[in-house]
Amino acid sequence: MAEKKAKTEEPKQNGFSLDYLLKSKQFKFFERNILKMVLKDTKKYTIEEAQKAIDKFKEVL
């Protein structure tokens, strides 16, 4: 008999459009301005990916 392996990974989220992230209250005003500069509007991002992009941008400053 074949054994089933338990899935430890969560299913990957589809993500959110840039427009959705810019309207979200999740980010502060200046963080939304950073998102406008660093994210592409044709791609979808998770909240974590957007936050990492903001943090990376802040490191450069």
- pTM, entire model: 0.76
Average pLDDT of span 46-59: 97
pLDDT digits (tens, 9 = 90+) for 10-43: 445 589 999 999 999 999 999 999 999 999 999 9
Angle at Cα 52 formed by Cα 38 and Cα 49, nearest 5°?
Answer: 80
CB 38 within 8 A of CB 53: yes
For residue 49, report the phi and psi dihedrals to the nearest 5 degrees. Answer: -65, -40
Give SS3 for 32.
Answer: helix
